[in-house]
Structure 1
Amino acid sequence: MYSLIRPLLFSFNPETAHHITLDALQLTYRLGLLPQLIKHPAVNPHKVMGLTFPNPVGLAAGLDKNGDHIDALAALGFGFIEIGTVTPRAQEGNPKPRLFRLPEAQGIINRMGFNNHGVDALIENVKRTNYRGILGINIGKNFDTPIEHAATDYLIGLRRVYTHASYVAINISSPNTKNLRQLQGSDELDALLTQLKAEQEKLADLYGKYVPLALKIAPDLDSEQIRQIATLLQRHRIDGVIATNTTLTRTGVEHLAQHTETGGLSGAPLCDRSTAVIHELATALQGALPIIGVGGILSGEDAVEKIQAGAALIQIYSGLIYRGPELINECVKAIRHLQRREK
């Protein structure tokens, strides 16, 4: 069905199509029609970060920044949902247009800039949801917070979302907030993780609930940077790592007119680089903490490659735009088939 609807959606500009799709999904959910339209994947439990995921395929952050559509998205059959990126204060994000399709390459370029309604609005949406599955909340810093004070924003975000999240994702790898990726540097990351881990421990004691932390990293890291990050993740006992965010490179799309648009590239052109980072990260970590693989998954085969590279779970976003909800079931089946072959 999605293959019939997609040409109509692609006739709108990408950001308009995004809102139309989510509003239509929400209406379909409220009318109780999704069970007739969507076949849920079979349960395939995975225990990761101390949490039991009903299946290993999740929704990546960015699609539902404010948590407006959690119930409807969960009804598509995801094993977990990640909302955000959310910042302490509401912000508009970068000027429009800021989202571009590259259909010939099954890619997307975005320079959204953490547009969101702020952490308090997100929490109110989470309180209203009926969803009781695994919910990740992805936090970032406001664009106008100086990079040297970034930890303040992350600590605010962590404190506010802690009791509402199954896990908290720390986004230091978006290319669309000025200087944000500097936080991936060894000294900067060491200082940030020190503060976040200490706060996590305080909050766990305060609420009697341990909420895992996962760090989201960029694909544009060299081997030495990946090893340094792996060392710091282990030193600070971070619970998981999400690899990867969007890329600033334009490998494979240089011939397309829109490749000159600034922002992060996702979708199929990112797939191989993301998988390579996962493999290097898994080699460096040696099982010390789990990897959530994301980046360019547009088929069950892509999902399997991420798992074989070392991911414990996967997430999709751009693939959902090009393939529709059938991709969820396809990925769950492919991973289950892989696991059966390996037994």
Structure 2
Amino acid sequence: FVMESGIHGIVITGPNTGGKTVALKTVGLLQLMAQSGLHIPCESAGLTMHNAVLCDIGDGQSITENLSTFSSHITNIINILDQSDGDSLILLDELGSGTDPAEGMGIAIAILEELKQKGCLFVATTHYPEVKEYTDQTEGMMNARMTFDRESLKPLYRLEIGEAGESCALSIAKRLGLPEHILERAYREAYGRKVPKYEQTIPDASFPDTRQDSLPAKQSHSTVPKLVKEKAVKQPADTRSQRFHVGDSVVVYPQKKIGIVYRTVNEKGEVGVQIQKKKELINHKRLKLKVPASEMYPEDYDFSIIFDSVANRKARHKMAKGHQPDLTIVYEKEP
């Protein structure tokens, strides 16, 4: 990594996972090691002293601080611009990202111009072709790239100063098996209208159909569970067991005792009936409706008055008003 005489800023470009951020971190780390009196891992080096090493690297989004990816980057950069001067080293990762590409590109160029005016040394990474072009045309700035093997579609993790890099997004997506119809649409959207100057190695027009260098097309074997609609079990519209509702007065055979339904029929065909304050589960075939609840009680009647003890009802009433640590409700054991 070399910043020639008269160069104040370097803009690094290249594919994702190509090593741009690692290169940026390495510059900052070695600078701080040298200024701290530590040996750095190289045969020889010439480093300048800086009054501050200021960086914006990584995603600082925060829900608690109400910061999105973009706003966290801008907040950091505003602080960096306030604190830096001509003796500072500035490191900026993915400058202008996280927002509308056109506005993000404009902000990136404006920030680089401001740093250039300050006279400090700075290194930034980006994917914007317009930023590459700006850097190439601006005195005191230089492009750099992370090398990439287009045959194997693998990064080489080597930094080359003086040339702008390519993102190679379509090539990487193709190798990873992105469906061809999506690649074809992406190609048309990316290159059908305008070809940026610094995207020099443009995929061939037949790019989506050329797969000899790519990985085999992936078969769809989704591990995402499928939602299966449960088939509704048809119940008889009006079975005898379903005629009994809570509060109904019934006759229990063969004893011919009068009781009140406190629970509707269960899966065994048993209905809960209270007979003289004793709760029992009785087969629905032994019951005969005497008077339906709708004829004896209001629609919103509280049946706990009939089926629950006075102590339980009083305790429940107090609990409804607030927490009562000393109160308990004891339910009668089900038959």
Per the normalisation by structure 1, the TM-score is 0.28
Task: Kindly indicate which of the two structures has a greater share of residues assigned to helix.
Answer: 1
TM-score (normalised: structure 2): 0.28
